[in-house]
Amino acid sequence: MRRGCISLGEVKCGDCQRTIPYPERYLAIDEEDGVEVEKGNTVHYCILCAIEKGYARYKEIKGEMVLTFFQEPDVSDVSQD
């Protein structure tokens, strides 16, 4: 499963190995052999890596770009990129 978290400055990205500074957001996700699973090893990804892997995206809400970690297709979002 996915959880959006706020770094306290001690979290390292599991992909680019960058230390994620406070108060940057990051993604905690359970993976098994690089594939998302319900329960597995928890891996942390910085925003950039999460976006690159398709785990996060920017969404426009009321004229502002807001980062979302989405679990399921957003039914209210009908646009196809």
Interface residues with Zn ion (CB under 5 A)? 13, 15-16, 46, 49
DSSP 8-state class, residue 38:
S
The residue (of 17 and 79) whose beta carbon lies closer to Zn ion is 17
CB closer to Zn ion out of 18 and 59: 18
Our CB check for Zn ion shows the closer of 29 and 49 to be 49
What are the residues facing 66 on neighbouring strands?
59
Minimum distance from residue 73 beta carbon to Zn ion (Å): 24
Residue 14 beta carbon to Zn ion: minimum distance, rounded to whole angstroms: 8
Rounded to a whole number of angstroms, the minimum distance from the CB of residue 21 to Zn ion is 12
CB 25 within 8 A of CB 4: yes
Under a CB-based contact definition with an 8 Å cutoff, are residues 23 and 29 in contact? no
Phi/psi at 29 (5° precision): -140, 145
